[in-house]
A and B are shown apart, each in its own frame.
Chain A
Amino acid sequence: MTALWRWLADPAHWSGPNGLAQRLGEHVGYAAAATAFAAVLVLPVALWIGHTGRGRLLAIQVGNLGRAIPTFGLILAAFTLFGYGLTPVYVALVALAVPPILVNTVAGIRQVDPEIVEAARGMGMTEPQVLWRVELPIALPVLMAGIRTSAVQVVATATLAAVIGLGGLGRPIVDGLAQGVTYNPAARAMVLAGALGVALLSVLTEWGLAAVERRLAATRGGATHWNITD
């Protein structure tokens, strides 16, 4: 433990090209880009599936199968296919982020009370208006919960980018493990610093996004005229 404090107290371990600040930036960058890309990719399809009900079973199957994919293996497999670079990381992280967004968006739209949807149609709304103005706002909390699940999993898993030679907070973990932690206190301190950093980042992502969700639910709830809960 004292080795960890000594390691953390050294300013050289915080700034510079190998510093924790740089690693944190890389980590957040991989995770944010992968989650955003997955959301842009999935949301239009998922909204359409939710609205029409077509392909719903297929979406559930994709969600289930996606959960069974070992992301660690996918990163390494993508690395052997595409070689060194960011592509394998994004392939694996996007594949990881897709199922929760897909499943939650479809489920969120499907569980909107059919009577509300019928009422919206009765008021003369077109189908895109029904989706955009009625179904989407009601489904938003469930949809956001899916994005949060994806984001937290992606932040956690971006650690593995270091295994294929890239940066992020997995870098000090993988480097430290490679130096041998059993007899090398400095290596052990480096591993611990990376592990604590990434654990903290994941927990903060979860809490931060949960807070955004509550905020969003509160303002949305205030702006709508119907009662969302029942």
Chain B
Amino acid sequence: MTRFPPDWLARNRDLVLAQLREHLELTLLTVLIAVAITIPLALLARRLPRLRTPLLALTGTLYTIPSLALFVLLVAVTGLSRTTALIGLVAYSLLILLRNILVALEGVPAEVRDAAVAMGHTPRQLLWRVEAPLALPVALAGVRLATVSTIGLVTVTALIGYGGLGRLFLIGFQRRNGTALLTGFALSLLLAVAADLALARLERRLTPWAEAAPARTGGAT
């Protein structure tokens, strides 16, 4: 029988805060690592167009593998550790980020690029002064999408001993405690919505000249 103990939240405030903190840490680390991996990959795919399709296919296949299965397969290799959780989470962010960064860079008009070259920009200057700022809105839309999807995926790592707020789902489920479950659910939903809004705001702040860019989701090619 599921119970909804009303005082559970007050008695377990430290637990809830600790899980919220773990959730934020895992999300932040995942997105930072994934961005750090994706930017060089995207630049590589720009330099060597032959690599574009294989890179997207590889990250696309990783994205397709069910999260629980991937975490479990990774546990067999790297053991029950935070590294396992992080590797799995990063793997899921790669496709979203790579696709958005590539689309963003490819969206820079050829005339703009030609004009910059004609003005004497070196390839490096072209990238950082012209292409990067123009690509920023779409690239940031990818970061936003990756962040929201990571916040949801973090909860699944509860099954391999992490999980942030996902651990509250499991506690609630195993002890038939509806308050714990709903607290975890509501907080992770709120976290995702808050991150989405905050990053949308950052996007507008950083690129006041751009219209809101549509994000490229994982599945639809």
Contact = CB atoms under 8 A, between A and B. Distances in A.
Interface string B158-198: 11100001100110110010100110110011001100100
A38 interface: no
B65 A202 contact: yes
A177 B69 contact: no
B196 A173 contact: no
B193 A170 contact: no
Contacts of A149: 217-220
Contacts of A9: none
Given A149-B217, A152-B219, A73 B169 contact: yes
B184 A73 contact: yes
Interface stretch (B47-55, B108-116, B149-157): B149-157
Interface in A126-171: 142, 145-146, 148-150, 152-153, 155-157, 159-160, 163-164, 170
Contact of A198 (B69, B76, B182): B69
Task: Summarize A's interface: helix, strand, loop or mixed.
Answer: helix
A65 interface: yes
Given A72-B169, A152-B219, A195 B192 contact: no
Contact of A196 (B73, B156, B193, B196): B73
Task: Summarize B's interface: helix, strand, loop or mixed.
Answer: helix
A156 B66 contact: yes
Contact of B152 (A69, A142, A163): A69
Interface of A: 64-65, 67-74, 76-77, 79-81, 100, 103-104, 142, 145-146, 148-150, 152-153, 155-157, 159-160, 163-164, 170, 173-174, 177, 181-182, 188, 191-192, 194-196, 198-199, 202-203, 206, 210
Interface of B: 2, 60-61, 64-70, 72-73, 75-76, 80, 145, 148-149, 151-152, 155-156, 158-160, 165-166, 169-170, 172-173, 176, 178, 181-182, 184-185, 188-189, 192-193, 196, 217-221
23 contacts: A64-B196, A68-B151, A70-B165, A70-B169, A70-B185, A72-B169, A77-B182, A80-B2, A80-B176, A142-B220, A146-B219, A146-B220, A152-B64, A156-B66, A156-B69, A159-B69, A170-B68, A177-B72, A181-B75, A196-B69, A198-B69, A203-B61, A203-B64
> 10 nearest interchain CB pairs?
A149-B219, A68-B192, A156-B66, A195-B69, A73-B185, A145-B220, A80-B2, A199-B65, A195-B72, A76-B173
